[in-house]
Structure 1
Amino acid sequence: MKKRLLFLLLMLVGWLGAAHHAQAQYNNWSVGFRIGEPSGVNVRKYFGENHAFDLNIGTYGGLYGNNRAYRSGRYKSVGLAVQGHFLWHTSFGSSQTFRGYYGFGGQIGSRRYYPDRLAYVNEFESTISLGGSGVAGLEIFPASKPYSFFLETGLYVEVLPAPFFLNLQSGLGLRYNF
Protein backbone atom coordinates (compact mmCIF):
# COMPACT_ATOMS: atom_id res chain seq x y z
CA MET A 1 0.00 0.00 0.00
CA LYS A 2 2.79 2.43 0.91
CA LYS A 3 4.65 1.58 -2.31
CA ARG A 4 1.59 2.30 -4.43
CA LEU A 5 1.03 5.60 -2.64
CA LEU A 6 4.66 6.61 -3.17
CA PHE A 7 4.47 5.68 -6.85
CA LEU A 8 1.25 7.64 -7.38
CA LEU A 9 2.69 10.63 -5.56
CA LEU A 10 5.84 10.60 -7.72
CA MET A 11 3.78 10.30 -10.89
CA LEU A 12 1.53 13.20 -9.81
CA VAL A 13 4.51 15.43 -9.00
CA GLY A 14 6.05 14.57 -12.37
CA TRP A 15 2.84 15.31 -14.22
CA LEU A 16 2.28 18.61 -12.42
CA GLY A 17 5.89 19.71 -12.87
CA ALA A 18 6.11 18.94 -16.58
CA ALA A 19 4.81 20.91 -19.50
CA HIS A 20 1.81 19.14 -21.00
CA HIS A 21 3.11 19.62 -24.53
CA ALA A 22 6.46 18.04 -23.69
CA GLN A 23 8.40 16.09 -26.27
CA ALA A 24 9.87 12.75 -25.37
CA GLN A 25 13.42 13.60 -24.35
CA TYR A 26 16.34 11.63 -23.06
CA ASN A 27 18.23 14.51 -21.46
CA ASN A 28 15.93 15.14 -18.51
CA TRP A 29 14.48 13.31 -15.53
CA SER A 30 12.07 10.44 -15.88
CA VAL A 31 10.02 8.60 -13.27
CA GLY A 32 8.04 5.43 -13.70
CA PHE A 33 7.73 1.83 -12.73
CA ARG A 34 9.52 -1.39 -13.55
CA ILE A 35 7.99 -4.86 -13.52
CA GLY A 36 10.55 -7.60 -13.20
CA GLU A 37 13.47 -8.28 -10.96
CA PRO A 38 13.52 -5.91 -9.09
CA SER A 39 9.99 -4.49 -9.45
CA GLY A 40 9.12 -1.05 -8.21
CA VAL A 41 9.73 2.64 -8.73
CA ASN A 42 12.26 3.60 -11.40
CA VAL A 43 13.96 7.02 -11.62
CA ARG A 44 16.36 7.95 -14.40
CA LYS A 45 18.42 11.10 -14.91
CA TYR A 46 19.74 11.63 -18.43
CA PHE A 47 22.79 13.87 -18.77
CA GLY A 48 25.31 14.69 -21.43
CA GLU A 49 24.96 13.28 -24.91
CA ASN A 50 24.93 9.62 -23.97
CA HIS A 51 24.91 9.07 -20.20
CA ALA A 52 22.28 8.42 -17.56
CA PHE A 53 21.92 7.25 -13.99
CA ASP A 54 19.16 4.74 -13.29
CA LEU A 55 17.74 3.96 -9.83
CA ASN A 56 15.31 1.13 -9.01
CA ILE A 57 13.68 0.84 -5.59
CA GLY A 58 11.37 -2.08 -5.01
CA THR A 59 11.00 -5.79 -4.42
CA TYR A 60 12.96 -8.70 -5.78
CA GLY A 61 12.55 -12.45 -5.63
CA GLY A 62 9.03 -12.61 -7.03
CA LEU A 63 9.72 -12.95 -10.75
CA TYR A 64 12.02 -15.97 -10.65
CA GLY A 65 10.45 -17.57 -7.59
CA ASN A 66 10.44 -16.70 -3.94
CA ASN A 67 11.57 -20.18 -2.83
CA ARG A 68 15.14 -20.64 -4.08
CA ALA A 69 18.37 -22.22 -2.90
CA TYR A 70 20.73 -19.70 -1.31
CA ARG A 71 23.96 -20.42 0.58
CA SER A 72 23.22 -23.32 3.01
CA GLY A 73 19.49 -22.85 2.96
CA ARG A 74 16.70 -21.15 1.05
CA TYR A 75 15.03 -17.85 0.34
CA LYS A 76 11.30 -18.23 0.97
CA SER A 77 10.07 -14.67 0.58
CA VAL A 78 10.21 -11.55 -1.52
CA GLY A 79 12.76 -8.93 -0.43
CA LEU A 80 13.50 -5.24 -0.78
CA ALA A 81 16.18 -4.00 -3.19
CA VAL A 82 17.80 -0.70 -4.12
CA GLN A 83 19.71 -0.84 -7.38
CA GLY A 84 21.66 1.86 -9.22
CA HIS A 85 23.41 1.85 -12.61
CA PHE A 86 25.56 4.31 -14.52
CA LEU A 87 24.49 3.98 -18.17
CA TRP A 88 25.78 4.67 -21.64
CA HIS A 89 23.10 5.00 -24.31
CA THR A 90 22.90 5.61 -28.04
CA SER A 91 20.21 5.90 -30.70
CA PHE A 92 19.65 3.30 -33.38
CA GLY A 93 19.70 5.02 -36.77
CA SER A 94 18.98 8.70 -37.32
CA SER A 95 15.75 8.62 -35.31
CA GLN A 96 15.77 9.20 -31.55
CA THR A 97 12.81 6.81 -31.15
CA PHE A 98 14.87 3.71 -30.30
CA ARG A 99 17.79 3.93 -27.91
CA GLY A 100 19.97 1.12 -26.64
CA TYR A 101 21.81 1.28 -23.35
CA TYR A 102 24.12 -0.69 -21.09
CA GLY A 103 25.65 0.00 -17.73
CA PHE A 104 27.11 -1.14 -14.47
CA GLY A 105 26.38 -0.48 -10.83
CA GLY A 106 25.38 -2.14 -7.61
CA GLN A 107 22.52 -3.43 -5.54
CA ILE A 108 21.74 -3.72 -1.87
CA GLY A 109 18.95 -5.98 -0.68
CA SER A 110 17.20 -7.28 2.38
CA ARG A 111 15.48 -10.66 2.47
CA ARG A 112 14.51 -13.51 4.79
CA TYR A 113 17.00 -16.36 4.68
CA TYR A 114 16.05 -19.81 6.04
CA PRO A 115 19.29 -21.65 6.82
CA ASP A 116 19.26 -25.47 6.85
CA ARG A 117 20.45 -25.49 10.47
CA LEU A 118 17.11 -23.85 11.47
CA ALA A 119 14.87 -25.85 9.11
CA TYR A 120 13.42 -28.03 11.86
CA VAL A 121 11.85 -24.96 13.54
CA ASN A 122 11.21 -23.00 10.29
CA GLU A 123 13.13 -20.01 11.65
CA PHE A 124 14.70 -17.35 9.46
CA GLU A 125 17.44 -14.76 9.56
CA SER A 126 17.12 -11.33 8.00
CA THR A 127 20.02 -10.83 5.61
CA ILE A 128 21.46 -7.79 3.91
CA SER A 129 23.08 -8.52 0.56
CA LEU A 130 25.47 -6.39 -1.45
CA GLY A 131 26.74 -6.92 -4.95
CA GLY A 132 27.48 -5.62 -8.40
CA SER A 133 25.18 -5.68 -11.40
CA GLY A 134 25.20 -5.04 -15.10
CA VAL A 135 22.29 -4.20 -17.39
CA ALA A 136 21.53 -3.79 -21.09
CA GLY A 137 18.28 -2.68 -22.64
CA LEU A 138 16.20 -0.91 -25.25
CA GLU A 139 14.16 2.24 -24.63
CA ILE A 140 11.42 3.40 -26.99
CA PHE A 141 10.43 7.09 -27.12
CA PRO A 142 7.14 7.48 -29.07
CA ALA A 143 7.20 10.67 -31.18
CA SER A 144 5.74 13.75 -29.44
CA LYS A 145 4.87 11.81 -26.28
CA PRO A 146 6.18 12.56 -22.78
CA TYR A 147 6.75 8.91 -21.89
CA SER A 148 9.01 6.03 -22.86
CA PHE A 149 8.88 2.25 -22.65
CA PHE A 150 11.85 0.07 -21.80
CA LEU A 151 12.87 -3.58 -21.81
CA GLU A 152 16.10 -4.72 -20.17
CA THR A 153 18.04 -7.66 -18.84
CA GLY A 154 21.05 -7.99 -16.60
CA LEU A 155 22.99 -9.99 -14.06
CA TYR A 156 23.53 -9.51 -10.33
CA VAL A 157 26.68 -10.94 -8.73
CA GLU A 158 26.63 -10.94 -4.95
CA VAL A 159 29.73 -9.99 -2.99
CA LEU A 160 28.36 -10.26 0.58
CA PRO A 161 27.32 -12.49 2.27
CA ALA A 162 27.40 -15.12 -0.54
CA PRO A 163 30.25 -14.31 -2.94
CA PHE A 164 29.49 -15.16 -6.57
CA PHE A 165 25.79 -15.88 -6.01
CA LEU A 166 24.33 -15.09 -9.46
CA ASN A 167 20.85 -13.85 -10.22
CA LEU A 168 19.41 -13.06 -13.64
CA GLN A 169 17.50 -9.77 -13.57
CA SER A 170 15.17 -8.55 -16.27
CA GLY A 171 12.25 -6.19 -16.53
CA LEU A 172 10.06 -3.93 -18.54
CA GLY A 173 8.51 -0.64 -17.66
CA LEU A 174 7.14 2.75 -18.43
CA ARG A 175 8.64 6.15 -17.54
CA TYR A 176 7.23 9.66 -17.75
CA ASN A 177 9.91 12.07 -19.03
CA PHE A 178 10.04 15.67 -17.83
Structure 2
Amino acid sequence: MKKSFLLTVLALVGWVMTPNNAQAQYNNWSIGARIGEPSGINIRKYFGTNHAFDLNIGTYGGIYGTKRSYRAGEYKSVGLAIQGHFLWHAALTKSESIRAYYGFGGQINNRRYYPPRLNGEYENALSLGGSGIAGLEYFPTGKPYSFFLETGAYVELLQAPFFLNLNTGVGLRYNF
Protein backbone atom coordinates (compact mmCIF):
# COMPACT_ATOMS: atom_id res chain seq x y z
CA MET A 1 0.00 0.00 0.00
CA LYS A 2 2.74 2.44 0.98
CA LYS A 3 4.81 1.52 -2.10
CA SER A 4 1.91 2.09 -4.50
CA PHE A 5 1.14 5.45 -2.87
CA LEU A 6 4.81 6.49 -3.11
CA LEU A 7 4.97 5.42 -6.78
CA THR A 8 1.81 7.39 -7.53
CA VAL A 9 3.20 10.52 -5.87
CA LEU A 10 6.53 10.16 -7.71
CA ALA A 11 4.75 9.70 -11.05
CA LEU A 12 2.62 12.79 -10.41
CA VAL A 13 5.67 14.88 -9.45
CA GLY A 14 7.50 13.67 -12.58
CA TRP A 15 4.54 14.55 -14.78
CA VAL A 16 4.24 18.03 -13.24
CA MET A 17 7.97 18.70 -13.70
CA THR A 18 8.11 17.49 -17.32
CA PRO A 19 8.68 20.39 -19.75
CA ASN A 20 5.88 21.04 -22.20
CA ASN A 21 5.50 23.81 -24.75
CA ALA A 22 1.71 23.98 -24.59
CA GLN A 23 0.29 27.28 -23.35
CA ALA A 24 -2.63 27.38 -20.97
CA GLN A 25 -5.82 28.21 -22.82
CA TYR A 26 -9.10 29.43 -21.44
CA ASN A 27 -11.42 28.19 -24.20
CA ASN A 28 -10.93 24.53 -23.40
CA TRP A 29 -11.64 21.70 -21.01
CA SER A 30 -9.72 20.74 -17.90
CA ILE A 31 -9.94 17.80 -15.55
CA GLY A 32 -8.27 17.26 -12.22
CA ALA A 33 -8.51 16.50 -8.54
CA ARG A 34 -9.79 18.66 -5.72
CA ILE A 35 -9.00 18.16 -2.03
CA GLY A 36 -11.40 19.91 0.27
CA GLU A 37 -15.11 20.11 0.79
CA PRO A 38 -16.17 18.42 -1.47
CA SER A 39 -13.12 16.31 -2.43
CA GLY A 40 -12.98 14.42 -5.68
CA ILE A 41 -12.89 14.89 -9.43
CA ASN A 42 -13.05 18.40 -10.85
CA ILE A 43 -14.07 19.16 -14.45
CA ARG A 44 -14.05 22.66 -15.87
CA LYS A 45 -15.17 23.98 -19.27
CA TYR A 46 -13.86 27.43 -20.20
CA PHE A 47 -15.89 29.37 -22.76
CA GLY A 48 -15.93 32.90 -24.04
CA THR A 49 -13.28 35.26 -22.76
CA ASN A 50 -14.21 35.17 -19.09
CA HIS A 51 -16.71 32.40 -18.31
CA ALA A 52 -16.47 28.78 -17.23
CA PHE A 53 -18.59 25.99 -15.80
CA ASP A 54 -17.08 24.02 -12.93
CA LEU A 55 -18.27 20.57 -11.80
CA ASN A 56 -17.09 18.71 -8.67
CA ILE A 57 -18.05 15.10 -8.00
CA GLY A 58 -16.79 13.49 -4.83
CA THR A 59 -17.10 13.16 -1.09
CA TYR A 60 -18.76 15.56 1.31
CA GLY A 61 -18.25 15.81 5.06
CA GLY A 62 -14.73 14.42 5.41
CA ILE A 63 -12.77 17.62 5.94
CA TYR A 64 -14.98 19.44 8.45
CA GLY A 65 -15.96 16.34 10.39
CA THR A 66 -17.87 13.17 9.72
CA LYS A 67 -19.81 13.65 12.96
CA ARG A 68 -21.89 16.81 12.86
CA SER A 69 -25.27 17.94 14.21
CA TYR A 70 -27.90 17.99 11.50
CA ARG A 71 -31.62 18.65 11.92
CA ALA A 72 -32.75 16.75 15.05
CA GLY A 73 -29.96 14.15 14.77
CA GLU A 74 -26.49 14.03 13.30
CA TYR A 75 -24.25 12.95 10.44
CA LYS A 76 -21.69 10.26 11.29
CA SER A 77 -20.18 9.51 7.88
CA VAL A 78 -18.85 10.93 4.64
CA GLY A 79 -21.32 11.23 1.79
CA LEU A 80 -21.50 11.87 -1.93
CA ALA A 81 -21.64 15.42 -3.34
CA ILE A 82 -22.21 16.84 -6.80
CA GLN A 83 -21.54 20.55 -7.09
CA GLY A 84 -21.75 22.84 -10.13
CA HIS A 85 -20.93 26.55 -10.56
CA PHE A 86 -21.18 29.07 -13.37
CA LEU A 87 -18.00 31.16 -13.12
CA TRP A 88 -16.69 34.54 -14.13
CA HIS A 89 -12.90 34.80 -14.32
CA ALA A 90 -10.33 37.49 -15.08
CA ALA A 91 -6.54 37.76 -15.37
CA LEU A 92 -4.73 39.34 -12.43
CA THR A 93 -1.38 39.52 -14.23
CA LYS A 94 -0.39 40.77 -17.68
CA SER A 95 0.81 37.29 -18.64
CA GLU A 96 -2.58 35.88 -17.55
CA SER A 97 -0.78 33.20 -15.50
CA ILE A 98 -2.85 34.05 -12.41
CA ARG A 99 -6.60 34.34 -12.77
CA ALA A 100 -9.27 35.10 -10.18
CA TYR A 101 -12.76 33.66 -10.41
CA TYR A 102 -16.08 33.63 -8.61
CA GLY A 103 -19.39 32.00 -9.27
CA PHE A 104 -22.68 30.62 -8.09
CA GLY A 105 -24.46 27.32 -8.46
CA GLY A 106 -25.87 24.42 -6.54
CA GLN A 107 -24.97 21.28 -4.67
CA ILE A 108 -26.61 17.90 -4.09
CA ASN A 109 -25.45 15.77 -1.15
CA ASN A 110 -26.30 12.30 0.08
CA ARG A 111 -25.18 11.24 3.57
CA ARG A 112 -26.23 8.89 6.34
CA TYR A 113 -28.45 10.74 8.77
CA TYR A 114 -28.99 9.35 12.29
CA PRO A 115 -32.23 10.76 13.74
CA PRO A 116 -33.07 10.00 17.41
CA ARG A 117 -36.32 8.27 16.39
CA LEU A 118 -34.35 5.43 14.73
CA ASN A 119 -32.38 4.52 17.91
CA GLY A 120 -28.91 4.40 16.36
CA GLU A 121 -29.97 3.33 12.88
CA TYR A 122 -29.60 5.65 9.91
CA GLU A 123 -31.51 6.81 6.87
CA ASN A 124 -30.08 8.29 3.70
CA ALA A 125 -30.51 12.06 3.61
CA LEU A 126 -30.55 13.66 0.19
CA SER A 127 -30.04 17.41 0.46
CA LEU A 128 -30.09 20.24 -2.04
CA GLY A 129 -28.84 23.80 -1.76
CA GLY A 130 -27.14 26.79 -3.31
CA SER A 131 -23.46 27.54 -3.21
CA GLY A 132 -21.03 30.28 -4.07
CA ILE A 133 -17.30 30.09 -4.63
CA ALA A 134 -14.29 32.35 -5.26
CA GLY A 135 -10.73 31.41 -6.00
CA LEU A 136 -7.38 31.85 -7.69
CA GLU A 137 -5.94 29.70 -10.47
CA TYR A 138 -2.26 29.63 -11.45
CA PHE A 139 -1.19 28.53 -14.94
CA PRO A 140 2.60 27.86 -15.00
CA THR A 141 4.15 29.19 -18.22
CA GLY A 142 4.48 26.50 -20.87
CA LYS A 143 2.68 23.83 -18.84
CA PRO A 144 -0.68 22.19 -19.64
CA TYR A 145 -1.85 22.17 -16.01
CA SER A 146 -3.02 24.67 -13.45
CA PHE A 147 -3.22 24.86 -9.65
CA PHE A 148 -6.19 26.34 -7.85
CA LEU A 149 -7.22 27.49 -4.37
CA GLU A 150 -10.83 28.36 -3.59
CA THR A 151 -13.30 29.04 -0.83
CA GLY A 152 -17.04 29.44 -0.60
CA ALA A 153 -20.20 28.41 1.19
CA TYR A 154 -23.07 25.97 0.80
CA VAL A 155 -26.53 26.91 2.11
CA GLU A 156 -28.99 24.05 2.20
CA LEU A 157 -32.56 24.59 1.02
CA LEU A 158 -33.98 21.08 1.29
CA GLN A 159 -33.90 18.97 4.09
CA ALA A 160 -32.58 21.54 6.56
CA PRO A 161 -33.15 25.10 5.31
CA PHE A 162 -30.25 27.45 6.09
CA PHE A 163 -27.87 24.63 7.16
CA LEU A 164 -24.51 26.23 6.34
CA ASN A 165 -21.26 24.51 5.40
CA LEU A 166 -17.94 25.97 4.32
CA ASN A 167 -16.70 24.79 0.89
CA THR A 168 -12.94 25.11 0.45
CA GLY A 169 -10.51 23.35 -1.80
CA VAL A 170 -7.12 23.12 -3.43
CA GLY A 171 -6.33 21.16 -6.52
CA LEU A 172 -4.60 20.48 -9.78
CA ARG A 173 -6.18 20.43 -13.25
CA TYR A 174 -4.83 19.26 -16.60
CA ASN A 175 -5.94 21.64 -19.39
CA PHE A 176 -6.57 20.26 -22.87
TM-score of the pair, normalised by structure 2: 0.87
SS in 2 for 1:117: helix
Partner residue, 1:6: none
Pairing 1:135-150 to 2, within 5 Å after superposition: 135-150=133-148
Superposition RMSD in Å? 1.4
- How many percent of aligned residue pairs carry the same amino acid? 73
C-alpha deviation, 1:117, in angstroms: 2.1
Distance 2:26 2:168 in 1: 21
| Cα-to-partner distance string for 1:91-127 (whole Å, 9 max, x where unaligned) | 1031211000000000011100001222xx3100101
1:103 aligned partner, one-letter code: G
**Which residue, out of 118, 121, 124, partners 2:122?**
124
Q: How far is the alpha carbon of 1:21 from its aligned partner?
A: 3.9
Work out whether residues 93 and 99 of structure 2, in 8 Å CA contact, stay in contact via their aligned partners in 1.
Answer: no
TM-score (norm 1): 0.86
Alignment of 1:78-93 (within 5 A): 78-93=78-93
For 1:58, the equivalent position in structure 2 comes to 58
Residue in structure 2 matched with residue 49 of structure 1 by the alignment: 49
Give the letter aligned to residue 87 of structure 1: L
Residue 168 (structure 2) aligned to one of 167, 170, 178: 170
Name the residue aligned to 2:10: none
In the alignment, structure 1 segments of 5+ residues that lack a partner are 1-14
How many residue pairs get matched? 159
Matched, 1:156 2:148: no
Report the alpha carbon displacement of residue 22 of structure 1 after superposing the two structures with TM: 2.1
